[in-house]
Amino acid sequence: MSNIANKFFKYRSYTPIPFLILMFIFENANVWSLILGFIIALTGEFIRFWGVSWAGSETRTTGGVGGTYLIISGPFAHVRNPLYVGNILMYSGLGIMSFSIFPYLQIAALLFFFVQYYFIIKEEEGYLRKTYGASYEDYTKNVPSLIPRLTAYKADNVEQPPFDWKDGLRSERRTLQAFTIVTITILLIWFCRRF
C-alpha cells in the first residue's frame, strides 16, 4: 500500500472533522437548506447501511485493505464503491444543511474527498484484482466505480455473504451516532441563532 493511500485509509474516519468544525463555526442554515441537506445526507446514510448489511464489519478495518468476499450484491450490484458514494452524499448533505461558506466549503470538501477516495479505491482495487482475478475484472467492466448504474449486475458464479441488517446496524453504529450528533448540532446552532 502506498504511503499516501495508507494514511488516507487509516484515518478516513477522522478526515471530515476539520470540515465539521468549519460547518459549525460558519453555520448559516435556513429552512430549505436544512430540509434539502437532510434528505441528501439521509440518502447517503441509507446507501451506507445497505452496503454494510452486505459487507459486514470488514468495512471498519483500518489496518489495510482486504475482504473475505467479492461483494457484488445489493448496492454493490449498482456501483463498486457504495460506501464512498454514501459518504460523499452524507457529507454533502450535512454541508448543505449548515450552509456554511456556501458553496465554497462544500466544493472544497468534495474535492478533498474525491482525492482521498481516489487513492483508497486504487489500493482496494489492486487487492481485489489480485485476489479475485477474472471475476473482479468482469465486475469492473460492468459496474462503475462511483456513478451507479440503473440495473443490477449479476454473476451467479461469485459466492456472496448473506444480507444481514442486524450486523449492518452493529457495524454502522458509530456512523449513525456521528450522523445524529452532527445533525442535532446543526439544528441547535440554527435554532439558537434564529431564536
Given this model, what pLDDT does residue 59 score? Answer: 60
84-106 pLDDT tens trace: 999 999 999 999 999 999 999 99
Confidence label for 182 from pLDDT (cuts 50, 70 and 90): very high
Side chain identity, residue 49: F
Cell (9 digits) for 11: 484515518
| Residue 60 confidence (pLDDT) above 70 | no
Side chain identity, residue 7: K
| Residue 151 confidence (pLDDT) above 60 | yes
Confidence label for 195 from pLDDT (cuts 50, 70 and 90): confident
Residue of 19, 15, 87 lying closest to 49 (CA atoms):
87
Given this model, what pLDDT does residue 61 score? Answer: 54
- pTM here is 0.92
Task: Give the residue, 7 or 118, on which the prediction is more confident.
Answer: 118
Assign residue 50 a region: left if phi > 0, alpha if psi is -120 to 50, beta otherwise? alpha
Confidence label for 65 from pLDDT (cuts 50, 70 and 90): low
Q: Which residues contact 82 (CB under 8 A, 6 or more apart)?
A: 47, 48, 50, 51, 74, 75, 76, 148
With a pLDDT cut of 70, the percent of the chain lying above it is: 94
